[in-house]
Structure 1
C-alpha cells in the first residue's frame, strides 16, 4: 500500500467517525437543548466535512489536528448523562482530559466536567421566548436565519413575526426570496414556503407572521398570539429611549436595537458588558459592528498590559446607506459611488468604547474608510500599552484568549499567511486577530482585526437576545477567567 493509499484510508475512516457523530449531536440538540461545540464552534447541523474541518482548527492549540477519534468518546459519554439545556465543548473536554493526571475514565471525567448541567443542577427547558423583527433588511434577514437555525428543541428563541412596510404586489413572496437566497451569505439552509393568504413565511417549520405597519403604534402583537416578546429593531430609525419605547406595545416586553443607542440607552457588547444589564431594563442597544469588533480585543489587551491611548482605523465594506452611483446623500462623501471609490467617513465606534468599557481610562480615537467590497471589514487598532512587551508574548496572549477565556466566542485567531477578507464571510466571531499582521515594538502594539460586519455582528445580537431572554445556557467546561 502506498503512502497516498494510507492517507486516503485514514480520511475515509475519519469520515465514518464524523458521520456517526451527527445523529448524536442532533439528538442532544433536539431532545435536551444541548449545543455541542468544538472550541467554541457549534457542531449542530454540520456536515461530515465541516466537522472534520472544525477539528483541524485545533492545530492552533497544540500544533496538531484534533482527531475525531479523540472527541467521539466524550460525545458518547454525554449521551449517557441526564443533561439539561447547555453548551458543551468536546474540544475543551478532550484538551483538559489530556492534562488531567488522576487516571479517570473518559466517562467519569466527562460527568465531573459537566456536573453543572446534570441532576439537581440542570436547567429545565421552558416554553421558549417570542421574538419579533421590526425591519427585514441585511441584518434582519441574517438574524432571522440564526433564530431559525437555533429553534432546535423549541425551548429557546422563537421567531414569531416580522414587521415591515407594505411593498405592493407579491411583497411577502419577494421578502421570502431574499431570505432564501443571499448573494454574499449563500442559500438558506433548509426549506421556505409562503402562505400569502395568511401572510406567513414558513421556514424549517417556523411559522413567521408578516405584519404590515407604517409605525409601531399601529401594532397590537397580542392579536397574533405573541406575548412577552423581545422586539429587535433593525431599522435604526429610532436610537434614543423615547423613540425606541414606542415599540413597547401589547405583547412586547423588551426592545433591542441593532445600531448604536443614544442618550442613556445601554450599548451592550456581548462578552464584555452584557452582565451589567439590569433585569428590568426594557430598552438596550447592541452597539455597532465595529464597536463589537474592537471592544473585546481592547479589553483583552487592557486586562493584560494596560492601555494608555489608542486609535482605530476601520477599512469597512460599503453598506446599504451609500449610493451605487454618484447621487445626493445627506452625509459628506457617502453620495459618491460605493463600488467605485474608497470613501473617507466617520465612525462612532471609538466614542462608543466608553459605554462598553467604562473602566478603560485610555482615550480612543477613530476614523473609517469605506471600500468597494460588499462584506467583511478590518479594524486596525493602534495601542500604546502601559508596559513593554514582545510580539511573541502578545500573540500567545491573544491565542489563549481566543481559545480558553470568556471572550472565546467574541475573539478568533488565525495564523494563515494568505488570508484575505472574503475568507471571513460567515465568521461567527465579533473579530478575528490576524497573527501574521500583528506588530509590536516596545510599548506599542498594532492589531489587525477582521470582522464580518454583517454575520459576525448578527451573532453578537443573538447572544445579547439570548442573555436578556434567559435562554443563554451555561458552557462546560467553564472557560478560564
Structure 2
C-alpha cells in the first residue's frame, strides 16, 4: 500500500468516526439541552467535514491537531451520564485527561469533570423565554438566525416576532428572502416558508409573527400571546433610557440595544462585565462591535501586564449608513462613496471602554478608517504596558487565554501566516488575535485583532440575552480563572 493510500484510508476512518458523532451530538442537544463544543466551537448541526475541520483547526491555537479518535470516547461517556442543560467542551476534556496522572478511566474522568451538570447539581430545563426583534436589518437577521439555530432543543430562547415598518407589495416575502439568502453569510441553514395570510415567517418550524408598526407605542405584544419577553432593538433609533423605555409595553420585560447606549444605560460586553447586570435592570446595551472586539483582549492584557495607556485604530468594513455613491450625509466624509474610498471617521469604542472596564485607569484613545470591504474589520491595539515583556511570552499568554480562560468565548487566536479578512467571516468570537502580526518591544505591545463586525457581534448579543434571561448554561470543564 502506498503512502497516499495510507492517508486516504486514514481520512475515510476519521470520516466514519465523525459520522458516528453526529447523532450523539444531536440527541444530547435535543433531549438534554447539552451543547457539545470543541475549543468553544459548537458541533451541533455540523457536517462530517465541518467536524473534521474543527478538530484540525486546533493546531492553529493549541499547536497540534486534535483527532476524532481522541474525542469520541469522551462524547460516548457523556451519553452514560444524567446530564442537565450545559455546554461541554470535549477538546478540553481530552486535553485535561491527557495531562491527568491519576490513572482514571475516560468514563471516571468525564463524570468527575462534568459533575456540576449531573445529579442534584444539574440545572433543570426551563420554559423558553420569548424574544422580539425590533428592526430586521443586518444585525436583526443574523440575531434571528442564531435564535432559530439555538431553538433546536425546544428550550432556551424563542423568537416570537419581528417588528418592522410596512413596506410595499410582498413585504413579508421580501423580508423572508433576505433571511433565507445573505450575500456575505450565505444560505440560511434550514427551511423558510411564508404565511402571508397570517403575517408569519416559519423558519425551521419556528413561527415568527411579523408586526407592522412605526413606533413602539403602537404595539400591544400580549395581543400576540407574547409575555415576559426580551426585546432586542436593532434600529439604534433610541439609545438613551428615555427613548428605549418606549419599548416597555405590555408583554415586554427587558430591552437590549445593539448599539452603544447613552447616559446611564449600562454598556455590556459579555465575558467582561455581564455579571454586573442588576437582576431588575430592564434596559441595557451591548455596546458596539468594536468595543466588543477590543475590551476582552484589553482586559486580558491589563490583568497580566497592566496597561498605562493605549490607542486603538480600527480598519472597519463599510456599513449601511454610508452612501454607495457620493451624496449628502449628516456626518463628515461618510457621504463619500463607501465602496470606492477609504474614509476617515470617528469611533466611540475607546470612550466606551470606561463603561465596560471602570477599574482601568489607562487613557485609551481611538480613531477609525472605513474601507471598501463589506464585512470583517481589524482593530490595531497599541498599548504601553506596566512592565516589560517579549513577543513570545505575550503570544503564549493570549493563546492560553483563548483556550482555557473565562474569555475563551470572546478571544480567538490564529497563527495562520496568510490570514486575511475573508477568513473570519462567520467567526463567533468577539475578536481574533493575529499571532503573526503581533509586535512587542519592552513595555510596548501592538495587537492586531480581527473581528466579524456583524456575526461575531451578533453572537455577543445573544450571549447577553441568554444571561439576562437565565438560560446561559455553564460550561464544563470549568475555565481556568
Bin for the TM-score computed over the shorter chain: over 0.9
- 1:449-474 deviation line (CA, Å, top 9, x unaligned): 00000000000000000000000000
Deviation at residue 88 of structure 1 after TM alignment: 0.3
Alpha-carbon distance between aligned partners in 2 of 1:250 and 1:121, rounded to the nearest angstrom: 36
- 1:421-479 deviation line (CA, Å, top 9, x unaligned): 01000000000000000000100000000000000000000000000000000000000
Asked whether the equivalents of residues 290 and 379 of structure 2 are also in contact (C-alpha less than 8 Å), the reply is yes
Alpha-carbon distance between aligned partners in 2 of 1:37 and 1:269, rounded to the nearest angstrom: 22
Alpha-carbon distance between aligned partners in 2 of 1:462 and 1:62, rounded to the nearest angstrom: 27
Question: Which TM-score applies when normalising by structure 1?
Answer: 1.00
- 1:257-285 deviation line (CA, Å, top 9, x unaligned): 00000000000000000000000000000
Deviation at residue 345 of structure 1 after TM alignment: 0.2
Alpha-carbon distance between aligned partners in 2 of 1:281 and 1:125, rounded to the nearest angstrom: 24
Alpha-carbon distance between aligned partners in 2 of 1:328 and 1:61, rounded to the nearest angstrom: 46
Asked whether the equivalents of residues 61 and 415 of structure 2 are also in contact (C-alpha less than 8 Å), the reply is no
Range with greater deviation from structure 2 (52-61 or 92-101):
52-61
Partner in structure 2 of residue 31 of structure 1:
31
Deviation at residue 59 of structure 1 after TM alignment: 1.5
Asked whether the equivalents of residues 134 and 163 of structure 2 are also in contact (C-alpha less than 8 Å), the reply is yes
When residues 448 and 22 of structure 1 are mapped into structure 2, their CA distance, relative to the original with a 3 A threshold, is same
Asked whether the equivalents of residues 380 and 449 of structure 2 are also in contact (C-alpha less than 8 Å), the reply is yes
Deviation at residue 127 of structure 1 after TM alignment: 1.2
Deviation at residue 160 of structure 1 after TM alignment: 0.2
Deviation at residue 90 of structure 1 after TM alignment: 0.3
Alpha-carbon distance between aligned partners in 1 of 2:409 and 2:62, rounded to the nearest angstrom: 19
Deviation at residue 22 of structure 1 after TM alignment: 0.2
Gaps of 5+ in 1: none
Asked whether the equivalents of residues 62 and 399 of structure 2 are also in contact (C-alpha less than 8 Å), the reply is no
Instruction: Find the residue that maps to 2:340 and give its secondary structure.
Output: coil
- 1:273-314 deviation line (CA, Å, top 9, x unaligned): 000000000000000000000000000000000000000000
Alpha-carbon distance between aligned partners in 1 of 2:185 and 2:40, rounded to the nearest angstrom: 21
Alpha-carbon distance between aligned partners in 1 of 2:225 and 2:54, rounded to the nearest angstrom: 40
Deviation at residue 60 of structure 1 after TM alignment: 3.8
Deviation at residue 245 of structure 1 after TM alignment: 0.4
Deviation at residue 62 of structure 1 after TM alignment: 4.7
Instruction: Find the residue that maps to 2:262 and give its secondary structure.
Output: coil
- 1:362-400 deviation line (CA, Å, top 9, x unaligned): 000000000000000000000000000000000000000
Deviation at residue 156 of structure 1 after TM alignment: 0.5
When residues 333 and 61 of structure 1 are mapped into structure 2, their CA distance, relative to the original with a 3 A threshold, is closer
Alpha-carbon distance between aligned partners in 1 of 2:463 and 2:440, rounded to the nearest angstrom: 32
Alpha-carbon distance between aligned partners in 1 of 2:128 and 2:84, rounded to the nearest angstrom: 15
Deviation at residue 64 of structure 1 after TM alignment: 2.0
Alpha-carbon distance between aligned partners in 1 of 2:400 and 2:296, rounded to the nearest angstrom: 14
Alpha-carbon distance between aligned partners in 2 of 1:32 and 1:103, rounded to the nearest angstrom: 29
Instruction: Find the residue that maps to 1:107 and give its secondary structure.
Output: helix
Deviation at residue 152 of structure 1 after TM alignment: 1.2
Instruction: Find the residue that maps to 2:387 and give its secondary structure.
Output: coil
- 1:105-137 deviation line (CA, Å, top 9, x unaligned): 100110010010001011111111000000000
Asked whether the equivalents of residues 61 and 414 of structure 2 are also in contact (C-alpha less than 8 Å), the reply is no
How many equivalent residue pairs? 481
Deviation at residue 144 of structure 1 after TM alignment: 0.1
Asked whether the equivalents of residues 61 and 413 of structure 2 are also in contact (C-alpha less than 8 Å), the reply is no
Instruction: Find the residue that maps to 1:148 and give its secondary structure.
Output: helix
Alpha-carbon distance between aligned partners in 2 of 1:343 and 1:59, rounded to the nearest angstrom: 37
Instruction: Find the residue that maps to 2:338 and give its secondary structure.
Output: coil
Asked whether the equivalents of residues 342 and 369 of structure 2 are also in contact (C-alpha less than 8 Å), the reply is yes
- 1:25-59 deviation line (CA, Å, top 9, x unaligned): 00000000000000100000000011001111221
Alpha-carbon distance between aligned partners in 2 of 1:62 and 1:342, rounded to the nearest angstrom: 36
Gaps of 5+ in 2: none
When residues 159 and 329 of structure 1 are mapped into structure 2, their CA distance, relative to the original with a 3 A threshold, is same
Deviation at residue 168 of structure 1 after TM alignment: 1.6
Alpha-carbon distance between aligned partners in 2 of 1:315 and 1:288, rounded to the nearest angstrom: 14
RMSD: 0.5
Question: Which TM-score applies when normalising by structure 2?
Answer: 1.00
Asked whether the equivalents of residues 60 and 416 of structure 2 are also in contact (C-alpha less than 8 Å), the reply is no
Partner in structure 1 of residue 418 of structure 2:
418
Deviation at residue 61 of structure 1 after TM alignment: 5.2
When residues 61 and 287 of structure 1 are mapped into structure 2, their CA distance, relative to the original with a 3 A threshold, is closer
